[in-house]
Structure 1
Amino acid sequence: MLSIGIGVAEERKGLDVVALGTDRRVERVLSRATVADVVAMTHELSPGVVCIDSPPAWAADGKSRAGERELRRLGITAFSTPTDPGDHAFYRWMRVGFSIFDAIAGDYPRFRGDAVSGTAAEVFPEATAVLLAGRLRSVDESKIRFRRDVLDRHGVDTSGLRRVDAVDAALAALTGVLALAGESSFVGDSAEGVILLPVAGLPVTKLLRKPASSAGRSSTRPRSVLLRAQRPTTWCECGCGAEVRRRFLPGHDAKLRSQLRRRHLGGDEVATERLIDLGWHDAVET
Structure 2
Amino acid sequence: MSATSPIRPVLPPDIRARKGTVPLVVLTAYSTPVARLVDPHCDIVLVGDSVGMVIHGLPSTLGVTMEMMILHGRAVVRGAQKAMPVIDMPFGSYEESPQQAFRNASRLMAETGAPAVKLEGGVHMHDTIAFLTARGVPVMAHVGLTPQSVNTLGGYKVVGRDGEADKVMADARAVEAAGAFSVVLEKVPEGLAARITQALTIPTIGIGAGVHCDGQVLVVDDMLGLFTEFRPKFVKRYAELGTMAGEAIAAYAADVRSGAFPAPEHSFPDVVPVKK
**Structure number, greater radius of gyration:** 2
Query: Do the structures match in fold with TM over 0.5?
Result: no
TM bin, normalised by shorter chain, reads under 0.3
Taking structure 1 as the reference length, what is the TM-score of the superposition? 0.26
Greater RCO (Cα-Cα under 8 Å, separation 6 or more): 1
Taking structure 2 as the reference length, what is the TM-score of the superposition? 0.27
Structure with more helix by fraction? 2
